Amino acid sequence: MTGGRGPGTGIRFDEVTVAYGGTVALDTLDLTVRPGEVLALLGPSGSGKTTALRTVAGFVRPTGGRVWIGGRDVTDLPPHARDVGMVVQSYALFPHMRVEDNVAFGLKARKAPKMPRAEIAARVGEALETTGMSGYARRYPRELSGGQQQRVAIARALAVRPGVLLLDEPLSALDARLRSGMLAELARLHRELPEVPMVYVTHDQVEALTLADRVAVMDRARLRALGTPRELYRSPADTFTASFVGSANLLPVTCAAEGTVRFGGTALTVGLGAAGASRAGEERTLCVRPHRIVLGEDGPNVLRGTVTAVQWRGATHRVAIEAEGHEVRADVPELDTVPAPGERLALSFAPGDAALLPARTGANGAQDHD
Ligand SMILES: Nc1ncnc2c1ncn2[C@@H]1O[C@H](COP(=O)(O)OP(=O)(O)OP(=O)(O)O)[C@@H](O)[C@H]1O
C-alpha cells in the first residue's frame, strides 16, 4: 500500500511554536522524522506531544515556524490536503456506520475527483486485510472489542494510503494484554509499509522503546533529548531523560579526584557520562540502572545499607536498600533466599555502569516512572 510513491516521505518541524492563549504548548520545536522511520514522542502529560502531532495533521495551526511533509511546506494546508493518516486513543469510529463504511469514510468524503466505487471497495478490503479485520466488515463498532475497534481505526487511516501515519496514544484505552499484542501488530504493520514514517505519541516508555527507531523526549513544551532507544538508555544526557527512558537510581554525589565521587561517606569510581570532566567539590548526579547492580561486595563500588523493601517481579526481585540516606534499588535475578526488611546488605556495581550526569536541580520534574 505505497500509493505509488517514490523513496518515501519525511516530516520536518522547523522551529514550530504553538501557544494557546498564554500557554506555550510547543516551544520552537526543531525535529526531522526520516522517511520510513518510527519516531516516538515520549514525555509526561502536558509536555506537548499531542500538540506536535496535531500540527502535522493540520488540526493545530502553529503560532510560529513551519511544518514540512515530504519536502512540501504544509503549514497553510487544511488537514485533508496533507496526505496523513491519524489514529487517536478513543478510536473515534462512527457508531452508526458499519466497519466497512467507517473505513471508506475518508475515501467517500473526497471532493473532485470522486473515487470510483470499485476502487473504494478495493481499498477498504485491502486495509481491512492489512489489519486482520476482513471478517468484520459488516459489523457495527459496538459489536467489536476495544482492540478490534482500534484495528478498524488503523484500517481507516490506512485506506487513504497516507504518506505518513500519526498515532496518538493508540493503545492506551486497551488492557495490558491486548496492548502487547497490538504493539506486535503495529511493528508488523510498519514492516509491511516500510516507506511510511510513523509518529507515535506515548507516555509509556515500553511502547516507545519497543516500537521506535528513535525517541524524542518532550518536557514542558520542549524537545529534551533525541536518539535511538539504546542511546538514550545507555547515555542519557540528563536526569530527566535517564528517569523517563528506563528505570534509574539517581544519586546526588560530590566529585573528588578525576573518576571518583563521594556519595555521602562512600567513595565510588565512575564513568565519565554526560556531565563531562569535573572539578573536585562539584555536585553531580550519578545514574545507575537497577539491573546493573548486584548483591554482595564485588569490585570497587560497594554500598552498604538497610533493606527497606523487596518485591518479587517474576524473573527478578527488586531489592531496595537505604544507603547514605537515599533509597537505592537493585533488580537482581530471582532470589532463593529473600532478604527481610531491616537486614543489612551490600550492593555493588561496576564503574562503567555508573554515569555521571549534571546535578539534578529538583525543578526539572525528574522522577522515576517505574
Ligand atoms: N485546545 C487547547 N487550549 C488550551 N490549552 C491547550 C489546548 N490543548 C492543549 N493545551 C495545553 O497545552 C499543553 C500541551 O498539551 P498536549 O496535549 O500537547 O500535551 P501532551 O504531552 O500530549 O499531554 P497528554 O500526555 O496528557 O496527552 C498543556 O499545558 C495543555 O493544557
pLDDT value of position 363: 41
User: How confident is the model at residue 224, as a pLDDT?
Assistant: 94
- Residue 3: predicted pLDDT: 40
The three state secondary structure string of 65-95 is EEEEECCEECCCCCHHHCCEEEEECCCCCCC
pLDDT score for 274: 60
Q: What are the average pLDDT values for consecutive 10-residue runs of the chain, which has 370 residues?
A: 55 96 95 95 93 96 96 92 86 89 86 82 90 91 89 88 90 77 84 90 87 94 95 89 91 90 94 69 92 93 96 93 96 92 96 88 48
What pLDDT is attached to residue 366? Answer: 39
- Residues 221 and 25 sit within 8 Å (Cβ to Cβ): yes
| Cell reading at 30 | 526543531
User: Contact at 8 Å (CB) between 28 and 16?
Assistant: yes
246 Cβ inside 6 Å of ligand 1? no
Cell of 117: 466505487
Domains and CATH numbers, the chain: 11-239 (3.40.50.300), 246-358 (2.40.50.100)
> Does ligand 1 lie within 6 Å of residue 47's CB atom?
yes
Query: Which pTM value belongs to this model?
Result: 0.84
Residue 365 has what pLDDT?
39
Atom of ligand 1 nearest to the CA of 41: 21
Q: How far is ligand 1, taken at its centre, from the CA of residue 315, in Å?
A: 38
Residue 237: phi and psi, rounded to 5, are -85, -25
| Residue located nearest, by CA, to atom 12 of ligand 1 | 25
